[in-house]
Chain A
Amino acid sequence: MTRQPLWLRILAHAGAGLVLAFLVLPIAAVLPASVNKASFIILPPTAYSMRWYGEFFLDGEWRSALLTSLQVAVVATIVAVVLGTISAIGLSRVRGRWHGVLTGLFLAPMIVPVIVTAVAIYRSALDVGLAGTVLGLGLSHAILALPFVVINVGIALRAVDPNWLRAAAGLGAGPWTIFRTVTLLNITPGLVGGAVFSFITSFDEVVIAVFMAGYAGKTLPVKIWEAIRIEYTPVVAVAATLMILLAMLLFAGAQGLSRGQTMLKKTEKPQT
């Protein structure tokens, strides 16, 4: 209703458009780089070819890195979702000072710089022999993913009216039946959101993985990391493109599942 001068509105929206372009467009750079025919990365490509996709899938090291990544992400997701969900339910029953303390503890992996977490976990994993294993890496990633599950399920739980639980109990349902038929059903969107975040967090994670991987357990990001620093061929662009595609698939899936829900805000901490 205020009359804002036109020039100001144009300036603000043009500025916003430019910044959004800066946010989104550079991500797309790996796509043309991946269909480059030359044996070095050049943008825009002078000739196009799918040869590097062939290289990627024929190379045993890249294939096994992809496989390791998927295994690690599955382990991390299962652990984070199971532990995160029950602790979110537990947290919703705590009141007062303890609630703040426990919330702080559950969110701590988001606050501690990842490099610190990575070095600490690596040291202890070396001592107990978990370094370089899928289980060790999966459990480490579960720590980073746990906060997202606790937050997402926690938000979903707030929408569960305690009176529903009392009503179900009054109708003769036991605790497990109440959980299954009332609570679980209503927190499913939060649970799915948490699971997707967990998966992508683990799948994209580099810092812990770089330390933990050793020779056996290289994940796709670790392989990319090494390739960038050593070979720097268009195969890296192929791997990067595949990671983007997977992320978009998960993004679209999560959006589809949460249609009508407000789960858009993934307040993830970047892997730094």
Chain B
Amino acid sequence: MSRHRLETVCLLAPALAFLLLLFVVPLARLFSLAFTDEGGAFATFAILAESEVYRRVMVNTLIVAVAVTLITVVLAWPVAYALSRLKGFWFALALYGVLFPFWISVLVRTFSWMILLERNGPINRLLQGIGVTDQPLALLFNDTGVMIGMVHVLLPYAIMPLYAAMVRIDRRLLLASDGLGAGLFDTFRRVYFPLALPGLLGGATFVFLLSLGFFITPALLGGANAITLSMLIASFVTDRLAWSLAAAGSLVLLVVVLVLLGLAARLLPLDKGMLAR
């Protein structure tokens, strides 16, 4: 081994050993528990698949993730667009608005929503005050609350890639489209949207994957009928000490995330957006 390579290995070794010992091995040990149930190697997965309750949890997790992704993408669009057009002070202000929430603990942000969405909280009183509703709405401890909280946390993850795609779109392409006789809608549909699409899909994938594994927000804002897979895994460990089920659930979650990530990496036309100079 050359001296240069030896040095490189020495530089990488401590962190690799650290990751191996404290991350990879614990994960492997956990996953091995999934196959050590008394009922047989795949008994845990059978339980997860056959139980009506667990199936509902999986479906609910997916529904929440899909809904959160759709809402997030729709809300991200105007912000990313404004960011791509603003200059100077207003640009900085908007960018800080997007990045600032990143720095605030998800727990604290979720707690804020608990205060705001309460049955007698300010939002319900506002809605009653302006006559939207007579009765206070149930905004907390159900899927509505979970989605509001998750959208709030995940929005910046959708905004940033979308903004990056939009800011790369050459303004001359829009001028060219205009000159060739296209109306606003045609220019949007045939030029602007396809060029922003890679950023949109990238952000959506990111948001969807994060939603699948979300824990804090659903645990605090969700109710008994709004259980997600991550809450189920936690309750296997803390309430039932059912380690093999927790391990099986974790493995399912991780495999789903990795498969989707692999698909996204393969299918997303990420290079096309970058060529739009």
- Touch between A and B in complex, CB under 8 Å? yes
Nearest CB in chain B: distance from A36 CB, A:
10
Q: Give chain B interface residues in 1-35, CB to chain A under 8 Å.
A: 4, 7-12, 14-16, 18-19, 22-23, 25-27, 29-30, 33
Q: Are A270 and B97 interface neighbours, CB within 8 A?
A: no
Q: Are A124 and B29 interface neighbours, CB within 8 A?
A: yes
**Is A243 close to B, CB under 8 A?**
yes
Say which one of B39-47, B114-122, B127-135, B267-275 lies at the interface with A: B114-122
Q: A42 to B124, alpha carbons, bound, how many Å?
A: 12
For chain A, the bracket of interface size reads: 35 or more
Q: A48 to B114, alpha carbons, bound, how many Å?
A: 20
Say which one of A54-62, A184-192, A221-229 lies at the interface with B: A221-229
Nearest-neighbor residue (CB-CB) of B12 within chain A: A90
Q: Which residues of A contact B197 (CB under 8 A)?
A: none
Query: A231-249 vs B: 1/0 string, CB under 8 Å?
Result: 0000011001001100110
**Is A258 close to B, CB under 8 A?**
no
**Is A251 close to B, CB under 8 A?**
yes
Nearest CB in chain B: distance from A96 CB, A:
12
Q: Are A20 and B97 interface neighbours, CB within 8 A?
A: yes
Q: Are A264 and B95 interface neighbours, CB within 8 A?
A: yes
Q: Are A19 and B103 interface neighbours, CB within 8 A?
A: no
Q: Are A272 and B214 interface neighbours, CB within 8 A?
A: yes
Nearest CB in chain A: distance from B152 CB, A:
7
**Is B51 close to A, CB under 8 A?**
no
Of B15, B76, B111, B213, which one neighbours A83 at CB under 8 angstroms? B15
**Is B69 close to A, CB under 8 A?**
no
Nearest-neighbor residue (CB-CB) of B100 within chain A: A24
Q: A113 to B251, alpha carbons, bound, how many Å?
A: 10
Q: Are B250 and A139 interface neighbours, CB within 8 A?
A: no
Q: Which residues of B contact A15 (CB under 8 A)?
A: 78-79, 82
Nearest CB in chain A: distance from B56 CB, A:
19
Q: Give chain B interface residues in 251-277, CB to chain A under 8 Å.
A: 253-254, 257-258, 261
How many residues does chain B have at the interface if contact means C-beta atoms less than 8 Å apart? 86
**Is A112 close to B, CB under 8 A?**
yes
Q: Which residues of B contact A251 (CB under 8 A)?
A: 100, 103
Nearest CB in chain B: distance from A261 CB, A:
14
Q: Which residues of A contact B155 (CB under 8 A)?
A: 19, 22-23
Q: Are A22 and B152 interface neighbours, CB within 8 A?
A: yes
Q: A230 to B103, alpha carbons, bound, how many Å?
A: 26
Nearest CB in chain A: distance from B89 CB, A:
14
**Is B199 close to A, CB under 8 A?**
no
**Is A269 close to B, CB under 8 A?**
yes
Q: Are A124 and B246 interface neighbours, CB within 8 A?
A: no
Q: Give chain A interface residues in 175-201, CB to chain B under 8 Å.
A: 200
Q: Which residues of B contact A114 (CB under 8 A)?
A: 213, 215
* Contact of A120 with B115 at beta-carbon distance under 8 Å, contacts A113-B253, A204-B106 already known: no
Q: Are A115 and B30 interface neighbours, CB within 8 A?
A: no
Of B26, B97, B247, which one neighbours A124 at CB under 8 angstroms? B26
Q: A153 to B114, alpha carbons, bound, how many Å?
A: 37
5 closest A-B pairs by beta carbon, nearest first, are: A113-B213, A90-B11, A15-B78, A16-B82, A204-B105
Task: Give chain A's interface residues, CB within 8 Å of chain B.
Answer: 1-2, 4-5, 8, 12-13, 15-17, 19-20, 22-24, 26-30, 33, 41-44, 79, 83-84, 86-87, 89-91, 93-94, 102, 105-106, 108-109, 111-117, 119-124, 139-140, 142-143, 146, 150, 200, 203-204, 206-207, 211, 221, 224-225, 228-229, 236-237, 240, 243-244, 247-248, 250-251, 264-272
A-B contact pairs, 19 of them (CB 8 A): A19-B78, A23-B98, A23-B101, A41-B118, A84-B15, A87-B11, A93-B7, A108-B19, A143-B19, A150-B15, A206-B107, A211-B238, A224-B107, A225-B107, A243-B104, A247-B104, A250-B103, A264-B95, A270-B210
Q: A12-B82, A109-B23 known; 19 other A-B pairs, CB under 8 Å?
A: A13-B82, A16-B82, A20-B94, A26-B113, A29-B112, A83-B18, A87-B14, A111-B257, A116-B27, A116-B213, A119-B234, A121-B26, A123-B29, A204-B107, A221-B107, A224-B108, A224-B111, A228-B114, A272-B230
